[in-house]
């Protein structure tokens, strides 16, 4: 069971890496915001695996909820495209 | 029983997460990516409940609850942005 969990965490971390590369490379800022929201979502799962449920709860509340909201409002007030 | 079921469940959850990630990365428009994020949110909530089952700790269910309540905020903000409000 522990080996399956380790492989699953490896899969999730590779997924986070791919999403982070996408968020850096894309020119559309809203796509980058969506990708970073998914990254903080997966990071909450990783914190849960590392036996830190309080950190996971804070990450889920602030990282996935409030940060996405603030970033979307900020993109709304700017042009929304990278040069 | 649990030795058979849990690897299958982990495989299915991994596959679903992979599909949502592919939609977020390669989706041609923003609504595709928003729907991919919403799908990933639901999958993640199920994943936290799965961890509560594996580690036998009921406190993890509270995290799933907080997550399910608050994860709507981001998707609703993106939807309002796309509709032109806000």
What's the whole-number average pLDDT of chain B?
Answer: 85
Whether chain A has a CB inside 8 Å of the CB on B4: the answer is no
A62: nearest CA partner in chain B: B70
Supply B62's token pair.
């509270």
For residue A14, the model assigns a pLDDT of 92
> Per-residue pLDDT for A73 more than 90?
no
How far off is chain B from A65, nearest CA to CA, in Å? 5
Is the reported ipTM for this assembly greater than 0.90?
no
All structural domains of chain A with their residue ranges: 2-77
The predicted model gives A47-52 an average pLDDT of 88
Q: Which residues in chain B are contacts of A4 at CB distance < 8 A?
A: 6-7, 10
The predicted model gives B54-75 an average pLDDT of 83
CB of A15 within 8 A of CB of A42? yes
> Per-residue pLDDT for B76 more than 80?
yes
């Amino acid at each position: 069971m522990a080996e399956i969990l380790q492989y699953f965490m490896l899969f999730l971390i590779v997924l986070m890496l791919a999403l982070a590369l996408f968020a850096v490379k894309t020119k559309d800022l809203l796509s980058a915001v969506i990708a970073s929201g998914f990254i903080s979502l997966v990071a909450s799962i990783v914190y849960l695996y590392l036996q830190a449920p309080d950190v996971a709860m804070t990450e889920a509340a602030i990282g996935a909820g409030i940060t996405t909201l603030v970033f979307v409002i900020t993109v709304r007030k700017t042009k929304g495209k990278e040069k | 029983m649990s030795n058979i079921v849990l690897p299958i469940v982990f495989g299915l959850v991994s596959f679903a997460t992979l599909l949502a990630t592919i939609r977020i990365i390669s989706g041609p428009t923003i609504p595709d990516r928003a729907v991919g994020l919403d799908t990933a949110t639901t999958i993640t909530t199920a994943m936290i409940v799965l961890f509560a089952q594996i580690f036998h700790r009921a406190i993890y269910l509270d995290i799933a609850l907080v997550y399910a309540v608050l994860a709507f905020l981001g998707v609703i903000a993106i939807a309002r942005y796309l509709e032109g409000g806000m």
